[in-house]
Amino acid sequence: MEQAKVSVIVPVYKVEKYLRRSMDSLVNQTLDGIEVICINDGSPDNCLSILKEYQEKHPNVVIIDKPNEGVWKGRFDGIKKATGEYIAFVDSDDYITLDYAEKLYTAAKKNNSDVVISGFYRVDVDTEHVYSTEMTGFSKKKIHMDENPEDILTINTALWNKLYKAEVLKNLKNLEKPPRILDDMMFWLLACLNTKTITFIDDALYYYMVRGDSIMSQIKKEQIESTENAMVEIKKIYAEDSNGKKQLEVIDSMAFLHFGISLMYRMSSDKANFKTVLKDNRAYLDKEFSTWKTTKYLKLWYCLSHKCSNLKVAVMKKVYVWHLYGAFLAVYNWILKTFKIDIKW
């Protein structure tokens, strides 16, 4: 049997309302030699029946039906099953352009890239309002992880607008206890450890549907501990790797970006406890990722002189250090409400 060019892994759980749209975009790809690996993660609705409908009509659809173990385990199951030269991920409530696989695969082969990244749309799932088009304008950029690893700070950490050489993911180190939230970011960091080069295409090929009932909209304080522990384990994995140990300041910077900014914003809805949560967050960063305060990657002068697109992260570090998070949130939320945009950090 000829090797597939691209294996697309699709974790599936309680998305029957959106699944057909996603599957239609997958089975009608313009690239020949694509396999679609659907992980039915014990979904209690009609997802499995829908997947079987598509499998009957499309022999390139592979179904892994398993008890619910979470998206992290499901992705590793999909990677193990994948036969493709390259691997991609699509969330089953999102969908892709019909030339998604073809454009990413062509760019990967042309540049011999370990990872190729495309642009994407952020879309309201109910109104189909496009909040933003992101990760475009990077096509002239090339990241060499042994030279400029800090450039990953400018990249969205979702897995779905990226195409990976299979060996990058086949050799991925697993976590003893996967995180309950921020799992995409940590999976991405593990992938970066096996990555030498990252390139980009400017086309927006992915439709990311913003749902009000997503896990990141309902985050609870009790979920944080497992996620903090997993991030510490990520740093340990990097510290024990000959190349990874050179990138520890990048890991500390990522910790601030995703725990100090993104996670704290999600937690800010709990106004009664937010001051305590913020204090605990600062103590965690200071203890486990101490260079977040001193690394040049989060300094304004460095971002300005290197024309870094993570300048807003450097500004937010000042806000965080100067204890101005409350004032920032008031302005930030006013902007979101007034201009009906959804800014992604």
198-238, pLDDT tens digit by residue? 999 999 999 999 976 544 445 776 788 999 999 999 999 99
pLDDT at 286: 97
**pLDDT given for residue 181 in this prediction:** 93
300 within a domain of the structure (yes/no): yes
The answer to whether residues 204 and 270 belong to one domain is no
Q: Is the pLDDT of residue 30 over 80?
A: yes
State pLDDT tens for residues 55-65.
999 999 999 99
Same domain, 317 and 188: no
Supply the CATH number for residue 40's domain: 3.90.550.10
- Band of pLDDT at residue 150, cut at 50, 70 and 90: very high
Tell me the mean pLDDT in the region 71-88: 98
Q: For the chain, what's the residue count?
A: 345
**Could you tell me which residues come within 8 angstroms of residue 229 by beta carbon, excluding any fewer than 6 positions away?**
177, 179
Name the helix (H) or strand (E) containing 321: helix 311-321
Name the DSSP class of 262. I
Output the pLDDT for position 217: 47
Q: Are residues 226 and 198 in the same domain?
A: no
Per-residue tokens: 297: 């990657």
Identify whether residues 24 and 143 lie together within a single domain: yes
Cβ(116)–Cβ(171) under 8 Å? no
Q: Classify residue 310: in a domain, yes or no.
A: yes
Q: CA-to-CA distance for 162 and 182, rounded, in angstroms?
A: 17
Interatomic CA distance for residues 185 and 188, integer angstroms = 5
Spell out the alpha helix ranges (H) of 16-89.
16-27, 47-57, 71-81
Query: Residue for token digits 């501990």?
Result: 225
Q: What share of the chain in percent tops pLDDT 90?
A: 78
Tell me if 85 sits within 8 A of 3, measured CB to CB.
Answer: yes
Taking the CA atoms of 306, 308, 310 and 312 in sequence, report the sign of the dihedral they define: positive
**Is residue 262's pLDDT more than 60?**
yes
Residue 345 lies in a domain: no
Mean pLDDT of the chain: 92
Average pLDDT score over residue span 110-129: 95
Other Cβ atoms less than 10 A from the Cβ of 337: the count is 9
Instruction: Categorize the per-residue pLDDT at 197 as very low, low, confident or very high, splitting at 50, 70 and 90.
Output: very high
3 vs 213: which has the higher pLDDT: 3
Query: 61-66 and 162-165: which strand pairing?
Result: unpaired
- Residue carrying structure tokens 């304008």: 137
273 inside domain = yes
In a domain, 170, yes or no: yes
Q: Classify residue 158: in a domain, yes or no.
A: yes
Can you give the pLDDT at residue 215?
Answer: 45
Determine the Cα–Cα distance for residues 39 and 235; give it in Å rounded to an integer.
Answer: 29
Instruction: Tell whether 55 and 91 lie within a shared domain.
Output: yes
| Co-location of 231 and 189 in the same domain | no
Domain boundary among 215, 245, 276: 215
pLDDT at position 106 over 90: yes
Both 123 and 226 in one domain: the answer is no
Q: Which of 230, 343, 204, 219 is closest to 284 using CA atoms?
A: 230
Determine the straight-line distance between the first and last CA of the chain, rounded to whole angstroms.
43
Shared domain check, 243 and 302: yes
Q: Is 329 helix (H, G, I), strand (E, B) or coil?
A: helix
Domain boundary among 195, 215, 235: 215
- Whether residues 310 and 230 share a domain: the answer is yes
Identify whether the C-beta of residue 226 lies closer than 8 Å to the C-beta of residue 179.
yes
Q: Which long-range contacts (CB under 8 A, 24 or more apart) does 335-340 make?
A: 340/129, 340/131
- 193, 215, 237 — which closes off a domain? 215
- Residue ranges making up the domain that contains 197: 6-215
Mean pLDDT within 288-299: 95
Which of 278, 230, 289, 221 has the alpha carbon at shortest distance from 255? 289
Q: Two tokens at 183?
A: 């799992």
- Average pLDDT on 100-116 reads 98
The answer as to whether 128 is a domain residue is yes
Instruction: List 183's β-bridge partners, or say none.
Output: none
Q: How many domains does the chain have?
A: 2
Is 344 part of any domain?
no
Alpha-carbon torsion, ordered 332, 333, 337, 341, to 10 deg: 50
CB distance 128 to 178 below 8 Å? no
> Rounded mean pLDDT of 66-92?
97
**Do 41 and 148 fall into the same domain?**
yes
Side chain identity at residue 43, one-letter code = S
Residue 40 · residue 48 · CB < 8 Å: yes
Q: What is the pTM of this model?
A: 0.93
Closest C-alpha to 57, from 27, 25, 33: 27
Residues 205 and 319 in one domain: no
180 shares its domain with 229: no
